[in-house]
Amino acid sequence: MRDMLMRRALRVVFSAVLLGLMALSAHAQILAHDSGKMEDLAEVGSSGISVRFHSPGEASLTAFQFFGCRGGERGSPSDSFLVRVTDGEGNLLRELEKPLWNIGVGRPLWQTVSINPAVRVNGEFEIRIAADARARSSLQVGRDGPADSGRWMVRAHLLDPSRARPALVAVGGTPASSGPPPAVRPEITTAPVQTQPRRPMSAPSPATPGVLAYRDQHRRLSYPRTPPPIPRGCGRVDIHWDAAPVTVELSYVGKPPRILEGLDVRRLVVDFPVPEPGLFEVTVRKDGFRSESRRFLVSAGSRHEWRIRLQPAGETDRGETSPGADVPPVVIEEVVEP
């Protein structure tokens, strides 16, 4: 009797898992031009490489894959590569900067790079990958044909929420282009992106002296006695200093900072939402003292602690840091089988 119940339970679980996988694949598509067998590995220059795809209908570009690796041993956590998504007429749909430091060195693998929020595509669209000229390491991508074939091993991941269809791999079609970037005619439907530093936000004084300041993943500031657990999908930076009040600048590297002015506490805990690893910079300033700045490579579930001893202006001693404050390498999601 017990064996019969166990077999029945296993059948129910197996059926549920199978139905879940079928539902997932019914909406997912992978578009590709390559055969999956690399013949050549080439370095991506600042002019970039591009691959053109065709979506059978309106869909969301949620990620892309490329078969490649990072070249060069003298890399830096600030190294990045650039991604541009354009429609069939060359209009810019999305421009992204992705961390190159996250990609493994030497051994090419299928690297998955998420696009969040997703990009809506319909018909022809193109993905262009280019190296950042300032990067100390290089990006290498595989081809499944000779050098002049342009058959770069880049694949697009689409999600079609409108109707169910089996997952498909579209092989063939227009080969990849490796020429100069297409003319970009961006359609601006919202206000231009702000390029100047955001206006400082004055931090309210805590009701109880001596408590810490906590900035959650929604950028809300509060003053709890102890920080809450790290939210799912977030990474934490915990900063301590020895003199208050201070001004703290928080920024994603390369973006304008968000400024907290007049923090009358000696500790700030920040939870950054990170759908993928990102490089963040924290700067602490106080009148009459030397400013302190540090970059952190933050990933989901990570925790960094930084202890600062503020020095009067003119002194050269560096702030103290905790033994575990070094930036750890974070490997991007590696998919062996697409």
By DSSP bridging, strand 234-240 and strand 303-307 are: parallel
Check if the beta carbon of residue 147 is closer than 8 Å to that of residue 40. yes
Residue 15 pLDDT: 52
Q: Which residue has the tokens 């080439």?
A: 42
Tokens (6 digits) for 93: 């749909």
Query: Would you state the pLDDT for residue 303?
Result: 93
Long-range contacts of 224-227 (CB under 8 A, 24+ apart): 227/269
User: Which residues, including other chains, have CB under 8 Å from residue 297's CB and lie 6 or more apart?
Assistant: 77, 99, 101, 277, 278, 279, 327, 328, 329, 330
Please give the structure tokens belonging to residue 2.
């017990």
Please report the pLDDT score of residue 99 as a whole number: 82
- pLDDT at position 241, please? 93
Token output for 223: 């003053």
Domains in the chain with CATH codes: 27-186 (2.60.120), 201-325 (2.60.40.10)
Task: Please state, in angstroms and rounded to a whole number, the distance separating the CA atoms of residues 104 and 331.
Answer: 7
CA angle in degrees (0–180, nearest 5) for 295-321-286: 70
Maximum Cα–Cα distance across the chain: 82
pLDDT of the residue at 12: 53
What pLDDT, on the 0 to 100 scale, is given for residue 270? 94
Is 222:216 a contact under the CB 8 Å cutoff? yes
The series of mean pLDDT values per 10 residues for the chain, 338 residues long, is 63 51 58 88 87 91 91 75 92 87 81 86 94 85 78 89 44 44 38 44 52 87 90 93 90 76 90 86 91 90 93 61 40 37
pLDDT value for 167? 38
